[in-house]
Amino acid sequence: MPASGGKAAWGTLLKMGDGGGSEVFTTIAEVGDLQGLDFSTDHDELTTHSSPMGHKEYVATNIDSGSITFPINFITSDATHSYISGLTYLWYNRVRRNFRLVFVDGTTWTCPCTVEKMTVKAPVKGRFSADLSLKVVGLPTLA
């Protein structure tokens, strides 16, 4: 057994909320490598003539949680991908929903998102797939 506490990421789930009062989350089918949230903080410069040695000073202001990006094996008939209730529907109708990352150690991060981008791929040699980007549009809950 390795001395490190690191774990394999395989088994991480991305779930989509149904928007209901007692929200139910469904695992999105056929998700590949997940990336995000890309946390960043804006800073406002406070430098004055009184700043020590002319060193720039800043205050942290707004937080941006960025986006969650991932590929899927695009299955148009799957409820989580479809134009009836899935990712395609959410993109087309600009619907805000909660999404939940469930990591292999049981940690969950829930974020309000909209589908920012959906790139469908149908190559002559290759699989039917799509690359998606979910823009985090509010405060995530990290638990």
In a domain, 91, yes or no: yes
Q: Mean pLDDT in the chain?
A: 95
Burial class (CB in 10 A: 0-12, 13-18, 19+), 39: exposed
In a domain, 3, yes or no: no
In a domain, 87, yes or no: yes
**Quick check: 79 and 98 in contact, CB under 8 A?**
no
Q: What is the CATH number of the domain that holds 41?
A: 4.10.410.40
pTM of the model: 0.89
Average pLDDT (27-40) is 95
Each residue's pLDDT tens digit, 76-130:
999 999 999 999 999 999 999 999 999 999 999 999 999 999 999 999 999 999 9
Band of pLDDT at residue 30, cut at 50, 70 and 90: very high
